[in-house]
Structure formats: C-alpha cells, structure tokens
Amino acid sequence: MPYVRIWVHLVWSTKNRKPMLQSEIRSKVFDHIKVNAKAKDIFLDTIGGYIDHLHALISLGSSQTIAKVAQLLKGESSHWVNQNFVLPGSFEWQDEYFAVSVCESDVERVREYIRRQEEHHRKKSFAEEYQEFLRDYCFVDEGLKSV
C-alpha cells in the first residue's frame, strides 16, 4: 500500500463569477460537496468560500489527479444545485480552476485562510484575489493581463 500525502489548494468560481452562492445556499452546497467527496474517496480537509467562488483543501490519493477531483466535485455539485434550488437561470461553475500544492507546514495556515473567506472578502473582491493568485504563483507576468 502506497503512503501518499499531497496537499492541494483548489479554487474555482461560479460561471462568470455570478454571486449565486448566498449564505444559506452556500452552506448547503458546501455540506453536499463534503458528502459527495467522501462518497468518491476524495479527502476534502477544508472547504469555504463566498458568494461567487469556493476554496477547497484536499489531499490527493495515490491514483487521483487534480483534474479528475476537480471534475468530480464541480460537475456533481452543479447538477445537485440545479436539482435542488430555484435560482435565476441554471447554476454552473466556471470551467477553469486554480490549484497549487501546499507544503505540510502551511496546511494549518491554508485551513484558516479558507475558513475566513467571508471576512476576507469584506476587504477584497474575488477578482482582486484571483489576480493576486495568478501573480503570486507565477501563472502570469505582472505586466501581462490575465484571461
């Protein structure tokens, strides 16, 4: 049996960053994602977010890929939201996502960051946060505009 511990911080947004995850819906969606992750043997350590995005701290299993985990969590949860909530239009997640590795010594800091998303976004929009992620993790040069 292989012993694997690969921490990944995943972030994705609602389609076009629409603010569809109001407080009551958000907590239900996050609870559902936790249940779904467990059923699919995805170790979801922490989940949090705000009205237009979510953050998840996961630990990949030996046969899991980031792409497959993101697909399983996003696809099933958007289907579930559409089946269980009456929202204006259909609910969708953005196709893209952001994923970075987290070293063991930073796991608690990332957990706290994820837990404090609502407080965090009183000061900074998700668009601003996203641009910082892209810059801080070298996905784009500071002089270039991101997609």
Q: Which pLDDT score is estimated for 120?
A: 87
Q: Which pLDDT score is estimated for 147?
A: 40
Task: With respect to residue 145, please indicate whether it lies within any of the assigned structural domains.
Answer: no
Task: With respect to residue 16, please indicate whether it lies within any of the assigned structural domains.
Answer: yes
Task: With respect to residue 93, please indicate whether it lies within any of the assigned structural domains.
Answer: yes
Q: Which pLDDT score is estimated for 144?
A: 45
d(CA 121, CA 51): 9
Task: With respect to residue 33, please indicate whether it lies within any of the assigned structural domains.
Answer: yes
Whole-Å CA distances, 20 to 29, 74, 104, 121, 146? 11, 15, 33, 15, 24
Task: With respect to residue 86, please indicate whether it lies within any of the assigned structural domains.
Answer: yes
Q: Is the dihedral of CA 17, 25, 116, 39 positive or negative?
A: negative
Task: With respect to residue 47, please indicate whether it lies within any of the assigned structural domains.
Answer: yes
Whether the Cβ atoms of residue 122 and residue 44 lie closer than 8 Å to each other: no
Written as six digits, the tokens of 16 are: 């076009």
Q: Which domain holds residue 125?
A: 6-136
Task: With respect to residue 44, please indicate whether it lies within any of the assigned structural domains.
Answer: yes
pLDDT in tens, 68-101: 999 999 999 999 999 998 788 899 999 999 999 9
CATH number at residue 12: 3.30.70.1290
Task: With respect to residue 71, please indicate whether it lies within any of the assigned structural domains.
Answer: yes
Number of domains in the chain: 1
Per-residue pLDDT band at 146 (split at 50, 70, 90): very low
Whole-Å CA distances, 69 to 23, 74, 75? 25, 8, 10
Per-residue pLDDT band at 138 (split at 50, 70, 90): confident
Per-residue burial over 63-74, b = 16 or more CB atoms within 10 Å of its CB, e = otherwise: ebebeebbebbb
